[in-house]
Chains A and B, each alone.
Chain A
Amino acid sequence: MSTTTPKTAFWRGVRDSAPFTLVAGPFALLFGVIATEAGLNLFEVMTFSLAVIAGAAQFTALQLMQENAPTVVVIISALAVNLRVAMYSAALTPYLGRAPMWQRVFAAYLLVDQSYALSHQKFEAEPEMTVPERMGYYMGTCLLVMSVWYGASLAGAIIGSALPPQIPIDFALPIAFLAMVAPALRTLPHVIAAFTAVVVSLFAASVPWSLGLIIAGAAGMIAGAQAEQWMERRT
């Protein structure tokens, strides 16, 4: 079954992405609730969600701002958590790199886990797709996911202002982060990276300006990379 025009490719993208709204929705909802509880108003919550579109990075920034971490540390940490989108960008470049610049700018803004995962799989499976067809499919995968992302952020911000204060919503963030990391511990180097970061963060907790986070994060990344190299040499 081949896609024939950019338009049909677009609608196939829309259909393929439908199940992924179930993943994006709750995250945006949770962000809306927690950000509102942290004192952000509706306009601030929506601008945040629209400008960044990255759950983990938004949660990271929110958590560190509540701890009164220095602004530079907030920004570096949140961007570091979001570094994977640069890898997605690299992975899609062979397929979309020849599209017009304005389309690539638009595509870059919309690059999230879902649009990357669906499109990369599709482009690999159907190498005969033309660049306009690929771009059509890619934009299709974004339509529902982004609509749900914006809508659920709004719903969360409205719910957040109505939640009773005795709910321990401050601990929702740590739980959400742990839940995001656990499934990513696929290989031994991933486990070693996480374990190193945990141990170092305990010792570095008293380092001023929240730099313990950067130190522990860097230690984890180096440990993971070293472990990977070591395992490659052994095989």
Chain B
Amino acid sequence: MSTLTLWIVIISLGVGSFFLRFSFLGLVGDRPLPPWLLRHLRYTAVAILPAMVTPLVAFSNDAGTGPEPGRLLAALVAVAVGAKTKNVLAAIGSGAAVLTLYILVTG
């Protein structure tokens, strides 16, 4: 990434995030949002994040044609622990532990 791109992203995200946060508090006031919009907004995070991660896991081997076993295993463990415990840090920790163990064992 170039320095220029990085600063464009930092500044745009800084300004954009501020306006997302300011939107209602500062501009919209008490007027309610249309229900159909709220209904879609509820699912942004659970849709965008998996959409980004899936190809990173599914094509993680050196040739980029399929999953690398250690990474696939680490990803599945992170999801399982996260879904079971509802604890983000426990999920990150167990996923990282599995990947580290896998690298140590297989060399």
Contacts and interface: CB of A to CB of B under 8 A. Distances in A.
Contacts, number: 273
B49 interface: yes
A77 B46 contact: no
A124 to B, nearest CB: 16
A116 B3 CA distance: 33
Contact of A75 (B9, B23, B42, B51): B9
B33 interface: yes
Interface of B: 1, 5-14, 16-18, 20-26, 28-30, 33, 36, 38-60, 71, 74-75, 78-83, 85-89, 91-92, 95-96, 99, 103
B24 A93 contact: yes
Nearest to B56: A174
A52 B58 contact: no
Given A90-B24, A198-B54, A220-B50, A181 B82 contact: yes
Contacts of B58: 202, 205
Given A40-B6, A216-B54, A229-B39, 7 more contacts: A65-B9, A81-B48, A86-B21, A168-B103, A194-B47, A212-B55, A217-B48
Contacts of B45: 56, 81, 83-84, 180-181, 184
Contacts of B55: 201-202, 205, 212
A47 B10 CA distance: 8
B25 to A, nearest CB: 5
Contact of B48 (A68, A88, A220): A220
- Using C-beta atoms within 8 Å of the partner chain, give the interface range for chain A: 35 or more
Contacts of A176: 92
A80 to B, nearest CB: 5
Q: Say whether chain B's binding surface is mostly helix, strand, loop, or mixed.
A: helix
A183 B9 contact: no
A190 interface: yes
A179 interface: yes
A151 B74 CA distance: 29
B46 A178 contact: no
A83 B11 contact: no
Interface of A: 23, 26, 30, 38-40, 44, 47-48, 51-54, 56-58, 60-61, 63-66, 68, 71, 74-75, 77-90, 92-94, 96-97, 101, 104-105, 107-109, 111, 168, 171-185, 189-190, 193-194, 196-198, 200-202, 205, 212-213, 216-225, 228-229
